Chains A and B, each alone.
Chain A
Amino acid sequence: DVKVTQSSRYLVKRTGEKVFLECVQDMDHENMFWYRQDPGLGLRLIYFSYDVKMKEKGDIPEGYSVSREKKERFSLILESASTNQTSMYLCASSSYDEQYFGPGTRLTVT
């Protein structure tokens, strides 16, 4: 079974803090993704990576950056957290024909 793990299930940070969300997959997938999930909006793609050190912006990259130094690990970085970044963050990795999701990190920025 594919396993995608995320470093935290729940996180509370203060406005202006730098926040790191970590994601690890164990299936040697080349593609990895970060989404945020908000009620009524579904999942929106923040960034994806198709190889080590390669990244592409998704639909809502503003305020976020990513890092992929190793194939199995994809990190999402909030340089200066703001209250409008309070959300559920989902990481996924992808085989040819489907995406596999981690359990999510619920981030609250106060």
Chain B
Amino acid sequence: AQSVTQLDSQVPVFEEAPVELRCNYSSSVSVYLFWYVQYPNQGLQLLLKYLSGSTLVESINGFEAEFNKSQTSFHLRKPSVHISDTAEYFCAVSKGNNNDMRFGAGTRLTVKP
């Protein structure tokens, strides 16, 4: 079965600094990759996803992630963060039918003024 490792449990950064949240996965078959965001006291919202095609995917609020098959990674980046980006971020992997999605333990991003 596939699995996901998020390498950092907490990432504190200052406002307007760049950030990278790291995600590695393991799977013996082709996968779909996702980043979800959870704001305080809310459910998870999809931030971006890789299904096929271009390995660089972007969200509407400036985040991007790159699928790297050789390194089995799907790191999330943003060149300049805002206070409002403070949230918990989850990386997830599935084999495509969504009945077997696996989530990482989460990375808590805290943006400080």
Contact = CB atoms under 8 A, between A and B. Distances in A.
A97 interface: yes
Contacts of B103: 35, 42-43
A103 B43 contact: yes
A50 B49 contact: no
Contacts of A92: 44
A9 B42 CA distance: 9
Interface of B: 4, 6, 9, 32, 34, 36, 41-46, 49, 51, 90, 96, 98-99, 101, 103-106
Count class of interface residues, chain A: 20 to 34
Interface in A94-110: 94-104
A97 B104 CA distance: 18
A99 B105 contact: no
Interface of A: 4, 9, 31, 35, 40-43, 45, 48, 50, 56, 90, 92, 94-104
Contact of B43 (A45, A50, A56, A90): A90
